[in-house]
Amino acid sequence: MAGIFKWLFGGSSAGDDRVEKDARGEPRGWSEPEPDPEIVRAPDLSLPEQKYFIQLERLTTSVSAQDYPAAAAAARASLPLLRNWLKDPRGDGLRLELRIPALSQGGTMMAITGDNEGLAELRKLVQDFDHLKDYREEAEEHFSDLELFNRIRAVIRSKPGVLQNRMKAELDIEDGRRASRLVSYLEKNGEVQRAKSGNTYELYMAGVAMPEAAVETIYTEPDNPGSHRRETRGTHPRELDLKRVSIVPLPPSPNAWDRSVDLPVTNEAFEDPESAWQEIIVEPIAKDDRPDPAFRRHYSTRGGTLSFDDLAKSDASLGAPGAVMFANANGQPGTTVPLHRAPYRISVHPEGDGFAILSRSNVLTVYGGDLKVDFETDLESAPEVVANRDRLGLAETEAHRALRCIALTPERDRYLFTHIDEAWCIGRDGKRLWGLRMPASEPTRIRVGGEAFGTAAEIDEALEALGLEMPVTPDEIRKRYRQLARELHPDLNPGNEERMKAVNVASERLTGLDPEQLDGSGGGEGGFEIVISLGLAGQADWIYAAAFSGTGETALLGTYAGRVVRVDREGIPTTIYDVGSMPVRIIETEAYLYVMTTTRLYVLDGDHLVALEDCSAKCDLLVSGGMVLLVENKGVRIFAEDGRPLGIALTKAPIRRAYVDSGELVIETRTQCGRFRSVRSAPERA
């Protein structure tokens, strides 16, 4: 359930307050008790009733499990609940602007299942309430989709093997991507089979005889390998006690920026807007050497870069669910290898070789440095998964969604997996080593207002206001705040009210704590919280990111509540880094820890925050060759490994690949390669 809130609360309320998510059920910082929030209890007219969120959970779960009839039923059951919320006049001016999946993806589910009456009810709902006016055009498109689904079925029945790129002409429509999207839904619904044919697909209705050549291009998953585990019964994991672990509060990361943090655009093939490099060498890429855009996911390793075709669009994935390619430290690609199972989740350690993949069928496949399968095991049948599923009352069909993370040590002698709120570390021989459960996040809190979130520039200003600079620890911030609070107290030194206000804002931005929490004086101001109570799975603090440390001695677990928990080799939590929102990527080399959310990158050395950088949700993180790269569609931000900025590289065409070769930044587009040579030295820290 936790991921739903990141999906929902991206807008603003009817007023001017920004809506931010704070899922913490515990204080972010030291041992002083958190002041009681102002809680909006039922009936809370800013949100639909609890029954709506139950249907929302059913909708998202069913879509993820590709059970479209169940998804359509959940979407339709949501409509009267939304109507009840919107027709209550007491909620006028109070309702939050929510993303409402029942009206968008839910409409698609009703269209594919032919629920014309449900779509009519959806259309009337959005027409009756101006609060939903943004969904009116989409409501009409759902009726068009219903018709197109039926026409696509008719075309494929009458013309078995029709090419997908001809479907636009067969349907006599302008939007070919829309046709492809609907074909993809029909395939996931089990109605259509797609056979690779050049750069497109031949389409057949399920159960229809196909030519042998077409059959050979369709991937069939191998048999389940079973479990390599020694234990057959689950055991109780250690439970994280927030009061017994050192907490490092960091400048909190918002779920989304209310302004663009994307890179500027350029009309040059390659541009260095900050004059960070001495020269840029641009060379054409021979046709046979051009990077294949199918390999779109890149991970740094000890010896180079692993690139994955996770959608099976490359020639190497013909008859396979995808492919992987290794390029050495100089960027020279090697042999491309088809994958054994579909890559639903991927784990690569930056200080190791090989990788791990978790398939949608919940099979963990570990590959060696030679890109050959090392071993496999079925995680769904792991005794810890069975026990946790029973504890939370989850259906077996939800396993692929509940198994969120996998991670490998550099030597591949241990792996870990996470299931909802639990993490389990297993030896290569199948022996259970440790387990850890996160504390329940009850209630789920949505923060409205407050001063806690600041941009990277505002964080620098906050440090300056306190007379500090990076690297800095939370303890240093706390001590400095208390010193300034005494010096600037209006009873002792009148006339410093504005300075004291600036210090209060600075301290909150640096730690996410109210000033009163820093000095232990009591409750704070500047916002209120809305509380939503859910079932056990909804209350659980889901683990969304996981990695082993650079040496492999410790593990790092990132939760939806914004905590990154370091766990030692015995499974004992040692440190919690609190970043304020869900981490999406954790990488630790032997030198630094990198934690990335959808809006920010943190660089840490132990408990010291040495750098942070605002980023967009669309950028990728690579740590390679002593540099850190934040790669976007048409640009790269480059940093030293300690986070000091080096420069920005822009491209006119989309980036296919970016890497570091002997200190040079290399960026490849479809037809050209740009080498950025002799970067300026990063300014030394004071």
Beta bridge partners of 532: 444
Q: Which of 446, 645, 595, 469 is nearest to 18 (CA)?
A: 446
Following DSSP, what letter does each residue of 337-402 receive, concatenated? EE-SS--SEEE--TTSS-EEEE-TT-EEEEE-TTSSEEEEEESTT-HHHHHHHHHHT--GGGHHHH
Same domain, 192 and 65: yes
Same domain, 80 and 198: yes
- 47 neighbors 96 (Cβ within 8 angstroms): yes
pLDDT grade, residue 514 (50/70/90)? Answer: low
Mean pLDDT, rounded, for 262-284: 95
pLDDT grade, residue 575 (50/70/90)? Answer: very high
Residue 558's pLDDT is: 97
Mean pLDDT, rounded, for 538-547: 88
Q: What is the pTM of this model?
A: 0.79
pLDDT grade, residue 513 (50/70/90)? Answer: low
Mean pLDDT, rounded, for 121-126: 98
Q: What angle do CA 187, 379, 395 make, to 5 degrees?
A: 65
Q: Is residue 113 predicted with pLDDT exceeding 50?
A: yes
Chain CA centroid to CA 300, Å: 18
Distance CA 355, CA 585 (A): 16
- 368 neighbors 357 (Cβ within 8 angstroms): no
The mean pLDDT value of the chain amounts to 86
More confident residue, 224 or 44: 224
How confident is the model over 9-29, as pLDDT tens digits?
443 333 333 333 333 333 333
Same domain, 351 and 406: yes
How confident is the model over 326-339, as pLDDT tens digits?
999 888 888 899 99
Distance CA 251, CA 612 (A): 9
How confident is the model over 297-349, as pLDDT tens digits?
999 999 999 999 999 999 999 999 999 999 998 888 888 999 999 999 999 99
Residue where one domain finishes, among candidates 478, 503, 526: 526
| Residue numbers of the domain that contains 590 | 238-256+340-445+538-615
Distance CA 27, CA 563 (A): 11
Mean pLDDT, rounded, for 221-239: 94
Distance CA 101, CA 117 (A): 18
Main-chain phi, psi angles of 282, to 5 degrees: -110, 130
- Residue 513 sits in a domain whose CATH number is 1.10.287.110
Q: Could you tell me if residue 320 is inside a domain?
A: no
Q: Is residue 4 predicted with pLDDT exceeding 60?
A: no
pLDDT grade, residue 524 (50/70/90)? Answer: very low
Q: Could you tell me if residue 644 is inside a domain?
A: no
Distance CA 24, CA 252 (A): 12
What token pair was written down for 630?
Answer: 């934040």
Same domain, 181 and 78: yes
Following DSSP, what letter does each residue of 470-490 receive, concatenated? SSB-HHHHHHHHHHHHHHH-T
Q: Could you tell me if residue 312 is inside a domain?
A: no
How confident is the model over 616-648, as pLDDT tens digits?
888 999 998 889 999 999 999 999 999 999 999
Residue 538's pLDDT is: 57
Q: Which of 587, 585, 576 is nearest to 548 (CA)?
A: 587
Distance CA 392, CA 538 (A): 9
Longest dimension (CA), the chain: 88
Give the torsion through C-alpha atoms of 494, 495, 496, 497, to 10 deg.
100
Q: How many of the other CB atoms lie within 10 Å of CB of 105?
A: 14
Residue where one domain finishes, among candidates 583, 615, 647: 615
How many CA within 13 A on the CB side of residue 203?
27
Q: Which of 545, 566, 543, 563 is nearest to 554 (CA)?
A: 566
Number of domains in the chain: 3
- 447 neighbors 577 (Cβ within 8 angstroms): no
Q: How many of the other CB atoms lie within 10 Å of CB of 576?
A: 21
Same domain, 507 and 410: no
How confident is the model over 417-442, as pLDDT tens digits?
999 999 999 999 999 999 999 998 64
Residue where one domain finishes, among candidates 466, 493, 526: 526
